[in-house]
Structure 1
Amino acid sequence: MKRDIRILMHTHWDREWYFTKDETKVLLRNHMQDVMDYLEENPETIYILDGQSVMIDDYLELEPTQEPRLKRLIQSGNLRVGPWYTQTDLLLVHGESIFRNLYYGIKRAREFGEPMLVGYAPDTFGHASQMPQIYQHFGIESTFFWRGFSELKAKKSDFLWEGIDGTQIFGVNLATGYQGAKYLESDASLLSERMAKLMSVLDAYSASNSRLIMNGHDQMPLQRDIKQVITALEKLYPEDNFSLTDFEGYLHTLNKEDLEIVKGELTDSKHARIHRTIGSTRMDIKLLNNEIETKLYHTLEPLAVIGERVGIPYPHGVVEKVAKLLFGAHAHDSIGGCNSDAVNQDIRQRLINAKEMVDTQIDLHLRLLTMANKETDQTIVIVNPLPEKRTDEMVSLEMITRTKNFLLYDESGQEIDYVIEHQQIEDAGLIDRQVAARLKDIQVYRTKVYVSVDEMLGLSARYVTYEEVETERAEEVQSIESMIENQFGQLFIENNQLHYRHKATNRLFTNVLSIENSGDAGDSYDYSPPVNDWVLNSKDVGELSYQVEKRDLSEVIQLTIAFDVPSHQTERENKQATTQVEFTGTCRLFNNDPKVYVELNHTNVTADSRYRLVFHTGIVTNQVKVDGYLSDQFKPVYLTEPLTIWEQDNWVEKPVSIETMQSYLSLTADDQFNLYTKGLKEYEVVGDCAYLTLFRTFSHLGKRNLVNRPGRPSGIEIKTPDNQLTNTTFTFNCAFDFEQIETQNKQAKSYLTPFVAYQRKAFNRFNINPRPNVALDEADVTLDLGQCVVSAVKCTEDNQLFVRLYNPMFETENLTLPPGTQIANAMEESLHVVEQVEVRPQQIIQFILHH
């Protein structure tokens, strides 16, 4: 059979890894000069710029005068850019970050020519099951990738990939890697030997007579003698046809009817490592990233929609800047944390900068809303960031007052109840420099409270007021009891352990929450159990001290979990535990809410360790329900088939049964356990326990011959002492309940999108003027979405209201939308008017509303 051998010229451009993004920017300048010279000299050549448009920006930052030249080569089709803005991870970041990365990548590429609409993700550590649909929303009908494939998925490397909703796109596994034909030899003998190895693999795995050869590598310069190499190849294989190609050219040779169908996630590690436990590497960076994503997508954007409606200009530039700072940290190595210490320091600082921007913009919007109340300065604004009606919820509010006590009032003057979480005295001069400049000594009270909110319509805001009073308010009742409760259950301490009694079923869940410490002999890519591990659990060796506080709205256990653990691996091997570690925090119950809200604080003082929360659920099952990108899915608790064959089949990495979720997991048998998390995404289920990784510490970027990963090191073997996270302080948040529900995804969205409240304060870091035409209205956007879940509420670039939602249920949801609603694509472009829409199971839809 005559083979159609297609050579694709490209570079894979890691912006940072064990080198910094600033180093690669300088290298990129030289690389682009070389590539553009060659393409102009050889106009029949196609070159792929790694599928990420950020390379345009990085290059033009140093060579702005070269934009016309670059644009000509992109418009001519010689240089292919997009669809991504950066080469993102496809399991660990927020689902909206995937949409926005593609949005900004395609948008930037369009400014120079036609974007490459191919889901090229060559080196990403696995692919989520919702990606076919996400790709298709951007007009992308294919993906080319390296990691995640095995023969358990399909016999051939060309297939149809079916997403969790049934969407099908072309899937092409790069069977010889994106680097298989790097630096092809000019010597005929060496070239023949090299090609024999490549062709044996491609002949075995290709589903047609076409063969795709990837001529490129990490930061690899363009191979200038490629034409001479092709001439030599034509002599070696006179029966075959050789040509330079792009991805689309290869796709045209495939026949859908001949292809197998592959379903679900692409996370097998037979041919390439997936690093299934990278989800807990550098948790300081991952938690910071998650905090920014949540604030940007769940709070700032919907808040800015309300602001735009009442006269505060939508902060398009701030949103884009923050998003692109995030995308710069979302490359598989970057968010993976598998970098040198210097790079991780840079990533963390860039995320801190992004956090400062998003926090300040949220604060500014809320402050402008409070200043719009002309009736009183004693103003608090409360915002519902979801386009749905919500009732009987709590909102967290920070107050700064001159008096210790204050009263809150609703619009009708009725007093509103609240509960104090924390209060401290501060010097007002540390908040507002004008106080210090005037040599005033003013003490204020900073108080964090939870306020009860009876009802709010969707995307609405309301004012409440406050009064500073001298009258002593009833304090929290400190109880000698060891139990807190509400109408759903009782949480109590007995025999040095936490237990939960579920009132509806009268089931007792003993030792419901504890902390596990174990060793970690791994590297920045993978947790690895030490050969001689010593696992300790706080329930067995710890001491649990506590104090109970009870109020009408809330009951809380203030607790400290302390236990002795090894300080480093040598102590662990010798079964020595010389270092005491403490986790302090709260377990809180609210009225009308079945969840137990857990917050734990910890400063790390140990090395070579892994810490996990252990939830003893009493439930044994073979599957776990979790959320993926804009979807629900069931995952096996144990990867039976891969774990049965991985050694005899020579997989490059053990397919450990440690998985990734987005924000919740649920276990169901006779009882049900639901766990909701903020940024904690790595879990394992063993027996009747669910394990949630808090963080891990280790010594090197890469190591060789790990227990679960034989052979060469991933990355390079350099010491990374920062990865021990010495003296790093963490705050972990999660919530759990034992309710029999199917709407965990909707619950998780509500958990991550609480009401927002803000007090107009007398003391501020910066002075601003009120906007003269801002007036808070009584408008709202209240949609009846059934069980569909909102993913995004934002303004398009021309300030239309854009909503993205999805149906996580396994039944179709029928929605009635407001008159004039237009279905939109993922580029936020209107398609057609619709008022009634069926949303299939796991389907994503986007629409534009008039508001």
Structure 2
Amino acid sequence: MSNKPKRTAHIISHTHWDREWYLPYEKHHVRLIRLMDVLMDTLENDTEYKSFYLDGQTIILEDYLQVRPEQKERLEKYIREGRIFIGPWYILQDAFLTSGEANIRNMQIGHKDARRYGQISKVGYFPDTFGIVGQAPQLMRQSGIDNALFGRGVKPTGFNNTVADSEYESSFSELIWEGPDGSKVLGILFANWYSNGNEIPADPEEAKAFWDRKLADAEKYASTPELLFMNGCDHQPIQTDLAEALETARKLYPDTEFVHSNFPQYLESVKGHQENELSVVRGELRSQRTDGWGTLVNTASARVYLKQMNQQGQALLEKVAEPLAAYAHLTGQAYPHHLFTYAWKTLMQNHPHDSICGCSVDEVHREMVTRFAKSRDVAESIIEDSKRAVADAVDTSSFAQYGEDALPFVVFNTTGWERTGTVSVELDVQRIYFRDGIPLDEISRRIQTLELGERVVLDPSGKPVPFTLEDLGQRFGYDLPDDRFRQPYMARAVRITLQADAVPAHGLRAYALVSGQAAAQHSDNASASLITGNNVMENSILRVAAQPNGTLTVTDKRNGREYRDLLVYEDTGDIGNEYMYKQPEGEAPLTTRDVQASIRVVEDTPYRATLEIVHDWEVPASADELLQKEQIEVVYYPERKAQRVKETVPMKIRTLVRLEKDGKGVKVEASFNNQAKDHRVRALFPTDIEASRHRVDSMFEIVTRDNQPAIEWQNPSNAQHQQAFVDVSGETAGLAVANLGLNEYEVLRDGRNTIAVTLLRSVGELGDWGWFPTPEAQCLGEHAVQLEIIPHDGRGEESGAYAEAYQFQIPWTSVQTGIHTGELSAVHAPFVWSGEGVAFSAWTVNEDSGDHMLRWYNMKQQPASLRLEWPQSVSRAYKTTILEETEGASVEQLSESLELEAGPCEIVTIGIER
């Protein structure tokens, strides 16, 4: 008699709902309304239709109820009864192109929205995510989730989501997934995709053929007799005859138990079996042991303008608006939770993989641009209110001694480290309000004839600060008071640029623009220069020399290391699509190595020097006619034979290279008007450092990756994802290249370990399962990109190089204020922290408790000490999770300071109860 356990077929009904993709959002939206109506009718009329999983994202509820608000009570009933499973996310986001804090807000808001309905599905759901970051197990564990279900990253997925056999990283479809901190979750790989139980036949003959194949496919990979069948797919309608289909299956296979199941039930069944030892998969899931053609990695460079908007939107929300609002909260201003939720939701609506990845039809991405602007407008409104509230609390009375026309202003550093750098501030020297009754022509005359005279910028100690002043002339403005009608005015405005020194982390420093005697005393302070030779800039750390071809030679004075040939531009053809890059066969890249550049000094001040480098270049206009034929015929992109045309178009690149007085890096801004199609542009940075591996910024982690891909890799390109930077380091030297919204890089196997950063990729089709033209993905028109070259001693965490790269992501904030007393000193920070190799991530206020929440993560694989000093009155401090739960949190009394150990790669959240 066989002891083989009876197998169970778990059928889980679901739909994977891409809000927008090959159809615009509203066309998918209409189909969603129809689906939800049918779902609730089915649940009401068919008691054998047990439950439905709503794709792990609560935004579906918002989308449905926006059109069908009268269905809310009915929907809530089925959720509370456990027949519709919702959460844990707000949206199903892309993992590599969204920030760590965006993912935390996604989980927090998803839980908050699901909690309103009384139930949160604790399922780590990543059905179609284009690879998953290594810290996902820790994020799951900190969210009370002990599992992760995913379709990509461990095995190959081919054309139209077909599954291919190869040597697997996991022995089974069940595995243990371990993060860099040691967190482990039960991983469930959709080895036969998340549609392997789709459209189950009710007809016996059809059902026999269906289940013979499907049961064998599932058993091929399963480690237990608990077999998973996902009854649904992308935008899949409800199978209304499922009960009949399952009854047919039970009659055909009496040795199999067919259950209309759900994820909690299925996961518990899997956990009850320990027959086979599961493989442990560690770290990132990036499909490295594949041929490299189906990884979808080049979505990191599709429509780069979207990635740039996303970087700006995320940075403004999490690194400027949130900490400034928390700062203002300490001065008594209400923290605008409702506005943050709205701004984050609006931003996150751009974070699904088909959206932020840039792999949808043009209509989708046009709407994304509007959403980015809407979220950014809310963030900027919060910033404006918060910075003024804090500035009003700063004691600027020391500037009164310089006369009534002294113009104080406050510079904020919202990064997690002390900061020195160049800041530009706009000030109104004089305002005349329309309410004063002066005729408009007289107002204009007074504003325009105002003498600016000799002026100087002073710091809080009265020390002069080198600066430049640009007269912006007359401008119109208005106030929007809380208690009165709008107040228009005319102003005489100036822009001053200066170096702000040692502004404390999450703190501020006040300055003033003054005239009169103080200005006369210090009128000759701005005489130093960073220009030390012909096209050479130099500070105490770095020497930067521009060569005739526009490349840079950067010398790190601290160790004498010289980096040559930096900033070559490369252009190649691209006959791929929004998902994947494909260079035409036999094509040699075009570069600016042999292009003579025009170079001149455009800025020479004591605090910053700037070189302008101009390349007058030409590149092929497009691919040839064969490409469109291959696209229409849906020829698989690795097999395409198209080439580029001989005709060329101008590709003029204007590059500004900046070195600041105390700068640790060389800042680069390049702009160009793209008139070519079907191509890719990259910037190349040879490191000449011997290393077989490199390090790259990812979500809450500095990941180490191999320069050489796995042996299964066939794609000539080995491009990968990055967030803030990529770094090639040796024992005594390293070169990091930071970026703003340039998420694709490659470390070339060229003998020089060159870092290649993608600046633009132009393609004309969506790709994937059909022919979807996307002419706007050619990205014609004006573009501007920003990078920073950061040499260091090989220890990126300890040397401050990575902190510099993170600070590069975050803009300075400033505001004009008046002369007044205040509770905050002119140089002030509400708290101080220290921890070598630890990165600061967030400062927010919890909506339920009102406690201040501070988050860090350990960049290293070794434990790190973290010290926090909070000089204000504090009741207690406690360590909590990313969900900021107080129940069960470890509590420490904070007598002005707190010390704790951050484990390897640990994400640490501390709550401060005041």
Normalising by structure 2, report the TM-score.
0.84
1:803 corresponds to 2:854? yes
Aligned positions of 1:631-646 closer than 5 A: 631-643=701-713
Cα distance in 2 for residues equivalent to 1:418 and 1:749: 26
- How big is the shift at 1:280? 0.2
Cα distance in 1 for residues equivalent to 2:43 and 2:480: 58
Cα distance in 2 for residues equivalent to 1:476 and 1:568: 48
Q: After the TM superposition, which segments of 4 or more aligned residues of structure 1 sit over 6 Å from their partners?
A: 430-434, 437-442, 469-473, 475-480
**Is the alpha carbon distance of 1:462 and 1:504 closer, same or farther for their aligned partners in structure 2, counting shifts above 3 Å?**
closer
CA deviations on 1:13-61 (whole Å, 9 max, x unpaired) are: 1111122222233322222221112222344601100000001111111
Cα distance in 1 for residues equivalent to 2:723 and 2:480: 41
1:61 corresponds to 2:89? no
**Is the alpha carbon distance of 1:595 and 1:438 closer, same or farther for their aligned partners in structure 2, counting shifts above 3 Å?**
closer
Cα distance in 1 for residues equivalent to 2:821 and 2:765: 57
- How big is the shift at 1:789? 1.0
In structure 2, what is the equivalent of residue 355 of structure 1?
Answer: 376
Q: Match for 2:463: what amino acid? A: Q
**Is the alpha carbon distance of 1:577 and 1:552 closer, same or farther for their aligned partners in structure 2, counting shifts above 3 Å?**
farther
Cα distance in 1 for residues equivalent to 2:480 and 2:239: 60
Of 347, 357, 381, which aligns to 1:336? 357
Aligned positions of 1:643-658 closer than 5 A: 643=713, 654=715, 656-658=717-719
Cα distance in 2 for residues equivalent to 1:204 and 1:230: 22
Of 242, 251, 267, which aligns to 2:286? 267
For the residue of structure 2 that corresponds to 1:569, the secondary structure is: coil
In structure 1, what is the equivalent of residue 325 of structure 2?
Answer: 304
1:117 corresponds to 2:182? no
For the residue of structure 1 that corresponds to 2:223, the secondary structure is: coil
1:848 corresponds to 2:911? yes
Of 867, 891, 898, which aligns to 1:833? 891
Cα distance in 2 for residues equivalent to 1:424 and 1:736: 33
Cα distance in 1 for residues equivalent to 2:300 and 2:662: 34
In structure 2, what is the equivalent of residue 281 of structure 1?
Answer: 302
Of 497, 511, 515, which aligns to 1:464? 511
For the residue of structure 1 that corresponds to 2:300, the secondary structure is: helix
- Whether the 8 Å contact between 1:823 and 1:833 is mirrored in structure 2 is yes
Of 802, 805, 808, which aligns to 1:751? 808
- Whether the 8 Å contact between 1:745 and 1:808 is mirrored in structure 2 is no
- How big is the shift at 1:815? 2.8
1:665 corresponds to 2:717? no
Cα distance in 1 for residues equivalent to 2:850 and 2:223: 47
Cα distance in 1 for residues equivalent to 2:180 and 2:884: 23
- How big is the shift at 1:573? 4.5
Q: Match for 1:823: what amino acid? A: K
- How big is the shift at 1:811? 1.6
In structure 2, what is the equivalent of residue 133 of structure 1?
Answer: 138
Aligned positions of 1:389-408 closer than 5 A: 390=418, 392-401=420-429, 403=452, 406-408=455-457
Of 624, 633, 641, which aligns to 2:694? 624
Of 469, 484, 502, which aligns to 2:537? 484
Q: Match for 1:168: what amino acid? A: K
Number of residue-to-residue matches in the alignment: 815
Cα distance in 2 for residues equivalent to 1:756 and 1:296: 13
1:561 corresponds to 2:611? no
Q: Match for 1:452: what amino acid? A: A
CA deviations on 1:792-822 (whole Å, 9 max, x unpaired) are: 1111103211011111112211234457211
Aligned positions of 1:483-502 closer than 5 A: 483-496=536-549, 497-502=551-556
For the residue of structure 2 that corresponds to 1:504, the secondary structure is: coil
Cα distance in 2 for residues equivalent to 1:74 and 1:441: 57
- How big is the shift at 1:274? 2.8
Once structures 1 and 2 are overlaid, which stretch shifts more, 262-271 or 57-66? Answer: 262-271
Cα distance in 1 for residues equivalent to 2:673 and 2:121: 46
- Whether the 8 Å contact between 1:125 and 1:273 is mirrored in structure 2 is no
**Is the alpha carbon distance of 1:405 and 1:452 closer, same or farther for their aligned partners in structure 2, counting shifts above 3 Å?**
farther
For the residue of structure 2 that corresponds to 1:428, the secondary structure is: strand
Once structures 1 and 2 are overlaid, which stretch shifts more, 574-583 or 113-122? Answer: 574-583
Of 218, 229, 253, which aligns to 1:202? 218
- How big is the shift at 1:386? 4.2
- How big is the shift at 1:674? 1.6
Cα distance in 2 for residues equivalent to 1:106 and 1:442: 48
Cα distance in 1 for residues equivalent to 2:393 and 2:673: 42
Cα distance in 2 for residues equivalent to 1:683 and 1:754: 23
Of 24, 31, 42, which aligns to 2:28? 24
- Whether the 8 Å contact between 1:479 and 1:548 is mirrored in structure 2 is no
**Is the alpha carbon distance of 1:604 and 1:398 closer, same or farther for their aligned partners in structure 2, counting shifts above 3 Å?**
farther
1:40 corresponds to 2:96? no
RMSD over equivalenced CA pairs, Å? 2.9
- How big is the shift at 1:723? 0.9
Cα distance in 2 for residues equivalent to 1:429 and 1:77: 58
Gaps of 5+ in 1: 647-653, 703-713, 762-769
- Whether the 8 Å contact between 2:362 and 2:774 is mirrored in structure 1 is yes
- Whether the 8 Å contact between 1:541 and 1:564 is mirrored in structure 2 is no
In structure 2, what is the equivalent of residue 449 of structure 1?
Answer: 497
- Whether the 8 Å contact between 2:665 and 2:788 is mirrored in structure 1 is no
Cα distance in 2 for residues equivalent to 1:125 and 1:405: 58
Cα distance in 2 for residues equivalent to 1:341 and 1:392: 42
Of 253, 259, 280, which aligns to 2:269? 253
CA deviations on 1:119-156 (whole Å, 9 max, x unpaired) are: 11111111111100011110011111111222441121
- Whether the 8 Å contact between 1:5 and 1:212 is mirrored in structure 2 is yes
- How big is the shift at 1:438? 12
Of 9, 15, 22, which aligns to 1:11? 15
1:108 corresponds to 2:161? no
Once structures 1 and 2 are overlaid, which stretch shifts more, 545-554 or 798-807? Answer: 545-554
- Whether the 8 Å contact between 1:92 and 1:279 is mirrored in structure 2 is yes
- How big is the shift at 1:162? 0.7
Cα distance in 1 for residues equivalent to 2:334 and 2:480: 28
Cα distance in 2 for residues equivalent to 1:828 and 1:433: 36
For the residue of structure 1 that corresponds to 2:565, the secondary structure is: coil
For the residue of structure 2 that corresponds to 1:348, the secondary structure is: helix
- How big is the shift at 1:461? 3.0
CA deviations on 1:240-293 (whole Å, 9 max, x unpaired) are: 111011112111122467322111211217599430111000111111011110
Aligned positions of 1:544-693 closer than 5 A: 544-547=598-601, 549-570=603-624, 573=643, 576=646, 578-643=648-713, 654=715, 656-669=717-730, 671-686=733-748, 687=750, 688=752, 689-693=754-758
Cα distance in 2 for residues equivalent to 1:699 and 1:147: 25
CA deviations on 1:308-338 (whole Å, 9 max, x unpaired) are: 1112221212211111011100000000111
- How big is the shift at 1:569? 2.1
1:729 corresponds to 2:776? no
- Whether the 8 Å contact between 1:49 and 1:79 is mirrored in structure 2 is yes
For the residue of structure 2 that corresponds to 1:821, the secondary structure is: strand
- How big is the shift at 1:455? 4.6
For the residue of structure 2 that corresponds to 1:619, the secondary structure is: coil
**Is the alpha carbon distance of 1:185 and 1:675 closer, same or farther for their aligned partners in structure 2, counting shifts above 3 Å?**
same
Once structures 1 and 2 are overlaid, which stretch shifts more, 309-318 or 394-403? Answer: 394-403
Once structures 1 and 2 are overlaid, which stretch shifts more, 19-28 or 800-809? Answer: 19-28
Cα distance in 1 for residues equivalent to 2:249 and 2:42: 21
- Whether the 8 Å contact between 2:764 and 2:777 is mirrored in structure 1 is yes
In structure 1, what is the equivalent of residue 85 of structure 2?
Answer: 80
For the residue of structure 1 that corresponds to 2:594, the secondary structure is: helix
**Is the alpha carbon distance of 1:590 and 1:215 closer, same or farther for their aligned partners in structure 2, counting shifts above 3 Å?**
same
Q: Match for 1:35: what amino acid? A: L
In structure 1, what is the equivalent of residue 164 of structure 2?
Answer: none
